[in-house]
Amino acid sequence: MNQAKLRLLQVGVGLGALLLWHVLTVYPILGSPKQVQFFFSTPLDVLARVVKEFASVRPLACLASVDPLTLPFIGKEPCGILYHLAITLIETILAFATGAAGGILFGFLFARRELLAAVFDPYIKAANALPRVVLAPIFALWFGLGIWSKVALGFTLVFFIVFFNVYRGVREVPQVVLANARMLGMNERQLLRHVYWPAALTWMFSSLHTSVGFAVVGAVVGEYLGSAAGLGYLIQQAEGVFDVAAVFAGMFVLSAFVILIDVGVTLVERRLLVWRPVAAGRD
């Protein structure tokens, strides 16, 4: 299937879901439309809320408030929702970058050191089994209500996903390939560069696509539980006054936000995995 048909089907599914949502909330199918809209709002109301939030941004004043030496670089008052997006973006990028870097580093290290992996195996599994939501208040206590408690929560979500995938990718290298490489005279450094690293890249990027969403989840959940800015804060404030349209608007903005980051990861993946053959059945 070519890309044009694929994009058309993807857009069709989205429009179909929105149409179904509109029909179920506007017409008396599930009961009184007003009662249904109290719980689910309508697509048009949600779209209107998104447009309203972005329309409230004062572009010139927002640009004038840019200060590269501060976080999140722009002012809260003139930038409106862009300020909250910037907060969540910074938290997401830091959580994603630190969690991915840590997962890649320790994934390679443990995969190449069997004794180290065997010793720490039960502790890693125990740490991975901890519910992250329980850790959020602890991180808030340790790091305060600023961005670092959200970064720490996102780190715990990203790290283990990347770690286990990189570890498995390195361990899955066929012994025949390793034997042939050593027979050709490759040392450990050359094996790492030409055998282990390419073998782990596919696994690594598979985990990074998943980790993008989890990095955002860590940031938003942390903001939801305790913060004065960010998309999670906006959603929490809207829920507090039963503003369902604002809640769904925040979730839609958040979804678009994740998709854009994932597109960035895809572009990097295509650049680094240009050598990978196209899968069968794909145009």
CATH number corresponding to 41-272? 1.10.3720.10
Q: How many CB atoms lie within 10 A of CB 168?
A: 14
User: What pLDDT does 38 receive?
Assistant: 87
- Residue 76: CB atoms within 10 Å: 15
3-class secondary structure for 9-44?
A: HHHHHHHHHHHHHHHHHHCCCCCCHHHHHHHHCCHH
What pLDDT sits at residue 280? 46
Which strand (E) or helix (H) includes residue 277?
none
Over residues 68-90, the mean pLDDT reads 85
Q: Taking the CA of residue 191 as centre, how many other CA atoms within 13 Å lie in the half-sphere pointing to its CB? A: 18
- pLDDT tens, residue by residue, 1-31: 677 888 899 889 999 999 999 999 988 888 8
pLDDT tens readout for residues 222-256: 888 888 888 888 888 888 888 899 889 988 888 88
Distance separating alpha carbons of residues 35 and 143, to the nearest angstrom: 42
Place of tokens 């913060």: 227
Contact in structure between 76 and 83 (CB atoms under 8 Å): yes
Residue 281: pLDDT over 50: no
- pLDDT, tens digit, for every residue of 146-177? 889 999 999 999 999 999 988 888 887 777 77
Q: What is the mean pLDDT of the chain?
A: 84
CB 15 within 8 A of CB 35: no
Question: Which pLDDT tens digit goes with each residue over 188-217?
Answer: 777 777 777 777 777 888 888 888 888 888
Per domain, the residue ranges of the chain are 1-38, 41-272
Q: Which of 198, 206, 223, 173 is nearest to 100 (CA)?
A: 206
3-state secondary structure of 193: helix
Task: Quick: pLDDT tens for 108-160.
Answer: 889 888 888 889 989 998 988 888 888 888 888 888 888 899 999 999 999 99
Contact present, 252 and 238 (Cβ < 8 Å): no
